[in-house]
Structure 1
Amino acid sequence: MYTAKGRLDANAMLKQYSPLVRRLAHQMIAKLPANVELDDLIQVGMIGLTDALTRFDTGQGVQFETFATQRIRGAMLDELRGADWMSRGNRKHQRDIEGAVHRLEQRLGRAPHESEIAKEMGITLTDYQDLLNKVRGTQLIYLEDMGGDEGDNDFLDRHVAEEGADPLARLNDYRMREALVEAIKNLPEREQFVMSMYYEQDMNLKEIAAVLGVTESRVCQLHSQSIARLRSKLRAW
């Protein structure tokens, strides 16, 4: 699409290729932690599309869509790498909780109770529940976890690659989903309800609290504790 002066019509191109941005965002977010917002990826992707319009040169011998796809995905990846989703202190708290959960599961052969986790960490139940509220931004997978044990800095790029690009990655994703489903089945019943309502039924904390007859703060605690249990299982996987 060109203007009367033979230049790319930016407005028309943005309208035509905005569905491409949404498609790439949906592909990417399907493999990212739940607290990464789709709208944020789309917004950043539109910036990448605008950048592609500015930089595109027909003399390069590539189609605009191919060039734009690279710029859009690059913008999204840069945003993900630069985002700090949780403070270092809270991440440490989360890993401390995960460690206590893992040790207790090994000793007890079952999901430990909150009071048992608190005792294992050497703190009171009240302090433990306060910690659960502090780590409410917890993710199933931290972006820095995607670096691998040997400094594989390209893991994030490969993990959110285009669908079908890497058969081995697709197989690993399938196994991860299977492991996650099995781990959720082993959660305490109330935590299973919370995870189902939050992730499958898209209910917010207030709605879940009303169903369970508890406070929103309590739902937050149950959610954080569920994630700690799941991460402990998935680390072993």
Structure 2
Amino acid sequence: MSVAAEYLSTAQLPSADTLVEQHAPLVKRIALHLSARLPDCVELDDLIQAGMIGLLEASSHFDPSAGASFETFAGFRIRGAMIDELRRGDWAPRSVHRGMRDAAEAMRQLEQMLGRPARESEVAERLEIDMPALRSLLADASRCQALPLEYSDDEGDHLRADLPSSGDSPAAHYEHGAFEKDLASAIAELPERDQLVLSLYYDQGLNLKEIGAVLGVSESRVCQLQGRAHLRLRGKLQDWNAHQQGP
């Protein structure tokens, strides 16, 4: 063990109660940042309550010898607890999920046939719906995907890129690495505008209003563009969705 690691392992840490009290503002900060990306039906207080549970867990499991600061460690736990709460309370009805799957498949088929990104009008025509209905579906897709890119274990409605836990098997780590590689390739194949929207949202942490200011479009249009990008990714990563749904 290095001198630094030995020092960290023996250093006097604040009590769990002190850590929770000191970092309670971090919970609200993360909740506010996350809520700016979510539909209005998600209550800020629910996010804060879930985040406080994450903070309590972080205070009990923090290991200073791992090298990360408590704030960094707690931030992951807090955000993870909020996201778990959001997954349990999925707001979207099954009809929305079905519509998303149908639209993703229509985009995939059209783009394979045309050799270029499908226009929204072409997707609407293939789905036999009008443009307002398609744009409403795209907005729903954006709201459903306000969580980190992931694939889920329910109906394959998300694309998953969660880090495996330390207790996961080597196979799980390999699968995670393979998915990350395929996800990166799929994102690189998206039209430039779709890539920019995802980058501003996930990498830069901008909310929809801020992205709209960058692109010079309305917040509602950004919501549609983000939903369109997610549906394109769903189509490109359909093998992972099929893997999650099982035989």
SS at match of 1:123: coil
Structure 1 match to 2:133: 127
Q: TM-score, normalised by structure 1?
A: 0.62
Letter of the 1:218 counterpart: R
Alignment of 1:1-237 (within 5 A): 12-15=15-18, 41-46=50-55, 79=85, 82-139=88-145, 140-141=149-150, 143-145=152-154, 162-163=165-166, 165-237=168-240
What is the percentage of aligned positions where both structures have the same residue? 38
5+ residue gaps, structure 2: 1-13, 23-36, 63-76, 241-247
Question: Larger Rg: 1 or 2?
Answer: 1
- The 3 A distance-change label for structure 1 pair 39 and 187 is farther
Shift of 1:214: 0.8
Q: TM-score, normalised by structure 2?
A: 0.60
Letter of the 1:105 counterpart: E
Q: State the alpha-carbon separation in 2 of the partners of residues 167 and 112 from structure 1.
A: 39
Q: State the alpha-carbon separation in 2 of the partners of residues 145 and 225 from structure 1.
A: 21
SS at match of 1:84: coil
Letter of the 2:230 counterpart: I
5+ residue gaps, structure 1: 1-10, 20-33, 51-63, 67-71, 148-155
Retained in 2: the 8 A contact 1:105–1:111? yes
Letter of the 1:43 counterpart: M
- The 3 A distance-change label for structure 1 pair 165 and 132 is closer
Which stretch has the larger CA shift, 112-121 or 134-143?
134-143
Retained in 1: the 8 A contact 2:103–2:231? yes
Retained in 2: the 8 A contact 1:164–1:170? no
